[in-house]
Structure 1
Amino acid sequence: MIHTLSTAEAIQRMNDYGHRRIPFLFIIDFLTQKPIVLALQDIDHADLLYDFNGKTNAPATNVNLEKSIFFHKHPLPFESYLPKFEYVVNQLKRGNSFLVNLSICTKIETNLDLKGIFLRSKAKYKLWLAEKFVCFSPEIFVQVKGDRIASFPMKGTIDADIVGAESLILSNLKEAAEHATIVDLIRNDLSMVAQKVWVERYRYVDTIPTNQKSLLQVSSEIAGQMPLNWRETLGDWLFRLLPAGSISGAPKPRTLEIIQEAEGYERGYYTGIAGIFDGENLDSGVLIRFIENIEGQLTFKSGGGITARSEALPEYQEVLDKVYLPFLNELTPVY
């Protein structure tokens, strides 16, 4: 049985493990109300499986690749999305925020269970919590190697099959403004915990394959130098960075209120973070591309950044494009 902690308990445990160089895993929900902190040696793979950039507790297993997989989504109608979108844009035009990440829930049907999705998925950050959720995230939150911290916010998604897709998204003024806002926010966030913060790479493009189509995703890399005692204060500074700017918005306090007012549901662990401290370095991802079991109904949570320049239909299509499985039916074994 996995138990959640209070914020104070989680910070204390992370500081202690960091000080003693004990490898541990952490899962922190969007509102930091139910954090989980577990020493790696104490994790039971019957309750939790993880694979973060190759660090994994998943046992070798044979996936039934002959199984024909179906995946159907039943999205929120555009007519129901539109009032949420319009509320957010109205708040933006009033100057209450510069950028808001608006998410919705999509009911899905598949003949795979959550663990089966985990075993087949290919992503930088994979996480399965028994009977609760599965996540297959492409987005890094922060990585600390030695005394260098780096964050890699993702902002901007387009169908890779569109002619000239990369040029289109990089030249789009709305996308450029949204990305610049997030880079500025993350740079400010890192400045709270690191010294000498800089932008290492700006607006580079990655390709993300899915069971439906390939997507192009725009990211940047912001880096800084951590103090020598960052491991001993790991919990303190990590919680200062939450929630992740790329999936909330700016400025954070009022934007979080707008998100709760517009969305009308609890995100839970969706858009939280999860990661591993291996005793020396830290690697963490943002919990996006997220399927949750809600009273027996599989529900895919997805979202996108809204600015005052956003248009409703493209934003609606973006959140639907992000509802996918990160693999094809014809697979090779993962483990």
Structure 2
Amino acid sequence: MRKITTKNIKNFPKLKEQLLSWAQQYDEVVWLDSNNYEQKYADFDAVLAVDAFTVLQTDYVDAFDKLKEYQSITKDWLFGYLSYDLKNDTENLVSQNPDHLLFPELFFFQPKKLFLLKQNEIELHYLYAVDDEIEDDWQEILNSYTSFSEESSEVKIKLKITKDSYFEKFQKIINHINRGDIYEMNFCQEFFAENTTINPLQVYQKLNNISNSPFATFLKVSNKFLLSASPERYIKKSGTQIVSQPIKGTAKRSTNKEEDEKLKYDLEHDQKERSENIMIVDLVRNDLSKTALKGSVQVPELCKIYTFDQVHQMISTITSKVAHTKSPVEVLRTTYPMGSMTGAPKVSAMKIIEEVEESKRGLYSGSVGYFTPDNDFDFNVVIRSILYNETNKYVSYSVGGAITAKAKAEAEYEECLLKAKAMREALLNKG
């Protein structure tokens, strides 16, 4: 049983910093922050889970079966991630590209200590709390402060795929489209730095200050870190309702208000971007129908423009209803990986992704989130993210975009650089 204590929050931004600073003492940390972004489907403003009581860590083999068993037995809060390569569990696929990050392909833990922040309150949920443990921790948190005395090494970012190679691979994808193998594919490229030491918390805070995204994540699993400024929800379950919100369509921001409004208007009316988005909406509708009650799949928002600090994004919202008895893990299994990061048809796209990309995606384009004791869940899409293996001294961030018949190589490459800008700034800016 969890002991629950509620506290009032006087200084929300300061408490968020204190919580994250205090959390660094633990080997298992998941921090999720909405950054006060107004979302219709958000349950919390921020969540922190630390200190594993139980753990599920596995490769892709029977991963969803193992997760289903773990989730059904614990019937508690579980936090963790699904890597992109769980595709090999749901389909007859392989991942043979180089992996220098070496994250487990699936990782979830049952936290001893959980903090749920909403408006001016924080709930502390402790598993088997002893004596004055909650009050002692609370005082420690209030006395925590962030110190960055460690020196990070100079970050020298390299490209896994050169610009010329990108154009060659782009043409291969177009050839597949023209042959009818696929009609859309998400093509990603990796930027990386070797023999590099960073302070993960410092880099995360820089990235978060730049982006202020609604699905920001700081994840720590021992010596491996995810620092994410994701704007995208993969999927959420609340009672019997399922919500998926794929992003397809990106435009830059402008500091000039009139120009910024024009960029937003142009994105909303861009037929290429709309067709990309609608293709993925169709894919998600099909995925959701595998677990949905008959006739319940709906599209309440089609190609709506959402504005973030760095970019405008085109987002659609697809919903469905499932039976009370439906396992939450089955909803994940039948929709994974998310269509916005694969393409369509999904299996054909993933086969070609494996051929043309140079790196194992791993946690990138996977998902971080949580299950509740009531069989609900909420998961993001791991994009706009920096991944770091502290032991290997390897830093990585990947970006991608949807390739369709109407895509132009130069424009797609420039969109990748636009998406990479915030991660690059967070790593290179010493201030």
TM-score (norm 1): 0.82
Distance verdict in 2 for CA 1:273–1:226, change over 3 Å = same
Selected match of 1:114 from 179, 200, 205:
200
Aligned partners of 1:166 and 1:205 also within 8 Å? yes
Q: Which residues of 2 match residues 79-98 of structure 1 at below 5 A?
A: 79-98=164-183
2:245 aligned with 1:191, yes or no? no
Q: CA deviation at 1:133?
A: 3.3
- Uncovered stretches (5+) of structure 2, i.e. residues with no partner: 1-26, 28-54, 89-104, 126-140, 427-431
Q: Tell me the percent identity.
A: 24
SS at match of 1:156: strand
Q: CA deviation at 1:260?
A: 0.8
The equivalent of 2:344 in structure 1 is 250
- Uncovered stretches (5+) of structure 1, i.e. residues with no partner: 44-48, 330-335
Return the structure number with greater relative CO, CA threshold 8 A, min gap 6.
1
The residue type paired with residue 217 of structure 1 is: Q
2:381 aligned with 1:309, yes or no? no
Task: Kindly report structure 1 stretches of 4+ aligned residues shifted beyond 6 Å.
Answer: 49-57, 69-72, 326-329
The residue type paired with residue 183 of structure 1 is: V
The residue type paired with residue 139 of structure 1 is: E
The residue type paired with residue 379 of structure 2 is: S
Using the alignment, how far apart are the partners of 1:103 and 1:56 within structure 2? 39
2:60 aligned with 1:17, yes or no? no
Larger Rg: 2
Aligned partners of 1:108 and 1:298 also within 8 Å? yes
Q: Which residues of 2 match residues 43-192 of structure 1 at below 5 A?
A: 61-63=144-146, 74-75=158-159, 76-107=161-192, 112-120=198-206, 121=208, 122-123=212-213, 124-129=215-220, 130-134=222-226, 135-161=228-254, 164-192=262-290
The equivalent of 1:4 in structure 2 is 57
Using the alignment, how far apart are the partners of 1:176 and 1:119 within structure 2? 33
Q: CA deviation at 1:283?
A: 0.8
Using the alignment, how far apart are the partners of 1:244 and 1:99 within structure 2? 14
TM-score (norm 2): 0.65
The equivalent of 2:109 in structure 1 is 38
Using the alignment, how far apart are the partners of 1:89 and 1:170 within structure 2? 25
Aligned partners of 1:187 and 1:197 also within 8 Å? yes
Q: CA deviation at 1:307?
A: 0.3
Using the alignment, how far apart are the partners of 2:204 and 2:118 within structure 1? 12
Mean alpha-carbon deviation: is it higher for 174-183 or for 77-86? 77-86
> Deviation string for 1:42-100 (max 9, x for gaps)?
89xxxxx999999999x665345999x99875555421211121111111111100110
Distance verdict in 2 for CA 1:9–1:322, change over 3 Å = closer
> Deviation string for 1:280-335 (max 9, x for gaps)?
22111111112123642322111111101100111001111111437999xxxxxx
Q: CA deviation at 1:176?
A: 1.1
Aligned partners of 2:385 and 2:423 also within 8 Å? no
The residue type paired with residue 126 of structure 1 is: T
SS at match of 1:31: helix
SS at match of 2:352: helix
The equivalent of 1:333 in structure 2 is none
SS at match of 2:414: helix
RMSD, aligned CA: 3.5
Aligned partners of 1:101 and 1:304 also within 8 Å? yes
> Deviation string for 1:214-258 (max 9, x for gaps)?
21111010001111113xx22233112111110001111111011
SS at match of 1:269: coil
Using the alignment, how far apart are the partners of 2:218 and 2:117 within structure 1? 7
Using the alignment, how far apart are the partners of 2:396 and 2:288 within structure 1? 33
The equivalent of 1:289 in structure 2 is 384
Using the alignment, how far apart are the partners of 1:116 and 1:91 within structure 2? 42
The residue type paired with residue 285 of structure 1 is: N
> Deviation string for 1:3-59 (max 9, x for gaps)?
62244355344345346531101311101162112112289xxxxx999999999x6
The residue type paired with residue 140 of structure 1 is: R
Selected match of 2:353 from 238, 259, 275:
259
The equivalent of 1:203 in structure 2 is 303
Distance verdict in 2 for CA 1:206–1:326, change over 3 Å = farther
Mean alpha-carbon deviation: is it higher for 102-111 or for 19-28? 102-111
The equivalent of 1:279 in structure 2 is 373
2:323 aligned with 1:227, yes or no? yes
Distance verdict in 2 for CA 1:133–1:199, change over 3 Å = same
Using the alignment, how far apart are the partners of 1:328 and 1:93 within structure 2? 37
SS at match of 1:41: strand
Using the alignment, how far apart are the partners of 1:100 and 1:26 within structure 2? 27
Distance verdict in 2 for CA 1:327–1:265, change over 3 Å = closer
Distance verdict in 2 for CA 1:50–1:251, change over 3 Å = farther
Aligned partners of 1:106 and 1:300 also within 8 Å? yes
Q: CA deviation at 1:115?
A: 2.7
SS at match of 1:126: strand
Using the alignment, how far apart are the partners of 2:124 and 2:341 within structure 1? 25
The number of residues matched between the two structures is: 317
